[in-house]
Amino acid sequence: MAGGVTGGSAGTWSDRFEQGLHPFIEAFNASIRFDLTLLQEDLDGSIAHARMLASTGVISSDEADQLVQGLETVRREAAEGTFQPGLADEDVHFAVERRLIALLGPVGKKLHTGRSRNDQVGTDLRLWLRRRLDELDGDLQRLQRALFQQADQHRSTLIPGYTHLQRAQPLCLAHHLLAYMEMLERDRQRLRDVRGRVNICPLGAAALAGTPVPIDRRRTASDLGFETIYSNSLDAVSDRDFCVEFTAAASLVMAHLSRLSEEVIAWASEEFAFVRLTDRCATGSSLMPQKKNPDVPELVRGKTGRVFGHLQGLLTMIKGLPLAYNKDFQEDKEALFDAFRTTRDCTEAMAILFEEGLSFRPERLEQAVATDFSNATDVADYLVARGVPFREAYQLVGAVVRRCLDENCLLRDLSLEAWKELHPAFEADLHEALAPRAVVAARRSEGGTAFERVDEQLALWAQRLQGS
């Protein structure tokens, strides 16, 4: 086997090892096929480390310049497609170091002074995730903007509101969409919280106990944009809480996207027919030419379980690990990378769906809210406003609904005389109060669905989205 970074005959490792790995174990052990994702972050961290070593006198300024130039050469080679490490490199860290030694000779061997792969990979992961958190925040904001545009267009459109998937009370459609904007805002807040705990630098903790090399941990942390450093070297190399936290936050994003997807799937069905799918975000059937399938929300709903699974996998991975670093941590990357990709792809897909993939059908929605008993509560509220105890009003209206069901009619179909027979408090303005638009407009409590309250919320959201 070719000599490793130390020049030994056992590949990557020191001269303690006389033989190379079994070919299958070499492949089983290697992470290069997926952790090459961290290449840019590994180069950034190594450049900061080299400059710090020079600033503390561990290496000369000329050696640091050579190392930085060599690392930038690797970056260019990667961009050109000529840097293609294989299994023998084991991981991205050794792949970079090996190439650096090939480029610079003995100077390249000085880069790893004062650090370990343990703190190196922790730094790379945090740099990678910090960038991706910012990207995901932008995607969530894009989806919020798409929902806002739909809400703004439908501030006077009605939609049936449901509890237990049963018709409950009519709503303003904009109010319904704004509820998802609130969920996404909490998601963005959670991700910002995660970012704060991601933005702590482990570099300089070395393998687990720190290093006798006179390094300046705060210098590298500052150069890499970290807010602070880990204060305990054991914790620094063994902390994967941030991976779990991100995947938990991503799981909630996916749960919210899945809930919204479920609604779109139902709305697009013939039974609901609340939305039309455009050709931009739907496919057809290979057999039935009349069909248009809601592929985007169905895929989002299906992919949600994938992210949930990664969360469970990460929790299981860390639950029994003693301090400090363990090879188990190699399993964090594929889960973290895929959880991010899946969440970001699904967020972008849903943004496109609401930007150009569907249109609401106000006439169908108007018809839906006019043909049910979702105004029954308003009859009770009508009586309460006239001094009737709520529970008495509630029982009376329940009996009226039963009567209407028996007679195959709606509340609006009962004459004023019939209402007065039920209770003398009913007056001529009852039918007007039971109209769906009046029902919605009456719910003026703060946070309610009344049109004036929705207009207030839309104005606030316009300011938020402009400023964020």
Beta bridge partners of 293: 283
Catalytic member of 60, 61, 269, 285: 285
Query: Known catalytic residue: 22?
Result: no
| Token pair belonging to 170 | 């009519």
Catalytic member of 164, 231, 286, 445: 164
Q: How far apart are CA 94 and CA 213, in angstroms?
A: 21
| Token pair belonging to 234 | 């054991």
| Token pair belonging to 284 | 């057809």
Q: How many Cβ atoms from other residues are within 10 Å of residue 354's Cβ?
A: 24
Report the candidate in 465, 399, 387, 459 with the shortest Cα–Cα distance to residue 426: 387
Query: Known catalytic residue: 112?
Result: no
Contact 167, 374 (CB under 8 A): yes
Report the candidate in 303, 185, 219 with the shortest Cα–Cα distance to residue 254: 303
Report the candidate in 380, 251, 379, 233 with the shortest Cα–Cα distance to residue 308: 251
Give the 3-state DSSP-derived string for the chain, with helices as H, strands as E and coil as C: CCCCCCCCCCCCCCCCCCCCCCHHHHHHHCCHHHHHHHHHHHHHHHHHHHHHHHHCCCCCHHHHHHHHHHHHHHHHHHHHCCCCCCHHHCCHHHHHHHHHHHHHHHHHHHCCCCCCHHHHHHHHHHHHHHHHHHHHHHHHHHHHHHHHHHHHHCCCCEEEEEECCEEEEEEEHHHHHHHHHHHHHHHHHHHHHHHHHHCEECCCCCCCCCCCCCCCHHHHHHHCCCCEECCCHHHHHHCCHHHHHHHHHHHHHHHHHHHHHHHHHHHCCCCCCCEEECCCCCECCCCCCCCCECHHHHHHHHHHHHHHHHHHHHHHHHCCCCCCCCHHHHHHHHHHHHHHHHHHHHHHHHHHHHHHHEEECHHHHHHHHCCCCCCHHHHHHHHHCCCCCHHHHHHHHHHHHHHHHHHCCCHHHCCHHHHHHHCCCCCCCHHHHHCHHHHHHCCCCCCCCCHHHHHHHHHHHHHHHHHC
Q: How far apart are CA 223 and CA 7, in angstroms?
A: 32
Catalytic positions: 164, 285
